[in-house]
Amino acid sequence: MTENSILLEIRNLKKHFPIYKGIFRSAAGWVKAVDGISLKLKKGEVLGLVGESGCGKTTAGRSILRLLEPTAGEVLFYSHGQAEPINVTTAPPKVIKKLRQDMQIIYQDPQSSLNERMTVGSIVSEPLLVHKIGAPSDREQEAEKLLKAVGLEGDHMARYPHQFSGGQRQRIAIARALCLKPKLIIADEAVSALDVSIQAQVLLLLKELQNEFNLTYIFITHDLAVVRYITNRVAVMYLGRIVESAATEELFNNPQHPYSEALISAVPVPDPDYRVRRILLQGDVPSPIDPPPGCHFHPRCRYAEDICRNETPTYRELSPDRFVSCHLADKLNLWSFSK
């Protein structure tokens, strides 16, 4: 097993939701929440999936895990010891269930993702029970070990979720996700609901656990500062499509897509002497039911030309390992944020 081998490959993944209308409930339209995204994820990498609300990042995460049935496309998971990848999108339920051991998710809100009526010990060890791993005493031991790994105490096992603070609950959710020794963890806004000091604790914990358990993460978030801190690669989504993906520092220093440029410029910087002009995008994100023709971003783009209004840009490799979906990408001289 080489260090840089591919763990996950996403090819043209789509998830469209029908909008039903009328008494016959016929599909009157489609919300193209995820509209053809392609990504490769190496083992041990941390990929950030960023974008504003409604861009499809959460739907993408769930479709990758097949918590949602994708409309089209392929998700290939390279499990260790197997030469051929498993196609997550077509695998039968039995295979999927087995696969869930390798792919886990942490949700945003630890208030609603933990069952209030279960003890912390049984929450954390439940995945083992579901997959029939180990005897009850082994499971208990494992849960205790995991709780310690995420910075909680062994005697927290018998308590209930309401006895914990938000940050501690998120640690419990993390322990549960780690329980089956997964290879891939999708963290969907996992630190967004936490206060800054607690958020920093959980971020550090996730980083430590990554080294310790050799994990690969997909970090879904709207918080660009968090993404810059924890990821190696970033994919920026806008209205169901990836507009740019690149190595994290590359993207933050020299964005190549006008949307990434505006997004990065808009993030407030915790430094009072840092006064740079912001690119203020006009208007809101358009509805994904009826997205603008051509490039989805053109109505808000300050560089838009005729071609942008009529033709959908292809997602192409602009330079090695840097993909951009913009007609004008090699012509534009976008802002650099490296200083």
Partner 1 sequence: MPPVLEIADLKVFFYTDYGVVKAVDGVRFHLNAGETLGLVGESGCGKSVTAMAVLGLVRYPGRIVAGEIIYHQNAKKVRLSGLDPKGREIRSIRGNDIAMIFQEPMTSLNPVFTVGYQIMEAIILHQRLNRRQAREAAISMLAKVGIPLPEQRVDEYPHQLSGGMRQRAMIAMALSCRPSILIADEPTTALDVTIQAQVLELMMNLKAEFQTSIIMITHDLGVIAGIADRVVVMYLGKVVEEAGVREIFYNTKHPYTQGLMNSVPSVRGKIRDLKPIPGVVPDAFALPTGCSFQPRCSQVSKMCRTEAPPLTEVGPNHWVACWLHS
Find the helix or strand (DSSP H, E) in which 173 lies. Answer: helix 166-178
Helix axis angle for 166-178 and 136-149, nearest 10°, is 130
Total number of residues binding partner 1 (CB under 8 A)? 41
Residue 172 binds to partner 1 (criterion: CB under 8 A): no
Residue 214: phi, psi to the nearest 5? Answer: 55, 50
* Cβ 208 to partner 1 shortest distance, Å: 12
- Specify the DSSP class assigned to residue 310: H
Please select the residue that binds partner 1; options are 195, 305, 306, 317, rule is CB under 8 A: 195
Q: What's the DSSP call for residue 274?
A: -
Q: How many Å apart are CA 66 and CA 86, to the nearest integer?
A: 13
Q: How far is the CB of 226 from partner 1 (least distance, A)?
A: 6
In the set 274, 320, 331, 333, which binds partner 1 (CB under 8 A)? 274
In angstroms, what is the minimal distance from the CB of 338 to partner 1? 9
Pick the closer one to partner 1 by CB: 71 or 170. 170
Asked if 69 touches partner 1 (CB under 8 A), the answer is no
Judged by beta carbon, residue 77 or residue 297, the one nearer partner 1 is 297
Task: Closer to partner 1 by CB, 63 or 248: give it.
Answer: 248
Sign of the four-CA dihedral 272, 277, 278, 283: positive
How many CA atoms lie within 13 Å of 338's alpha carbon, on the beta-carbon side?
8
Residue 155 makes contact with partner 1 by CB under 8 A: no
Interstrand relation of 86-87 and 26-42 (parallel, antiparallel or unpaired): unpaired
91 binding partner 1? (CB under 8 A): no
Comparing CA positions, the residue from 227, 237, 259 lying closest to residue 332 is 259
Report the site for partner 1 in 254-273 (rule: CB under 8 A): 262-273
CB nearer partner 1, residue 84 or residue 284: 284
Tell me if residue 246 falls in helix, strand or coil.
strand
Q: Which residues bind partner 1 (CB under 8 A)?
A: 52-53, 165, 167-168, 195-201, 203-204, 222, 224-226, 228-229, 252, 262-274, 278, 280-281, 283-285, 337
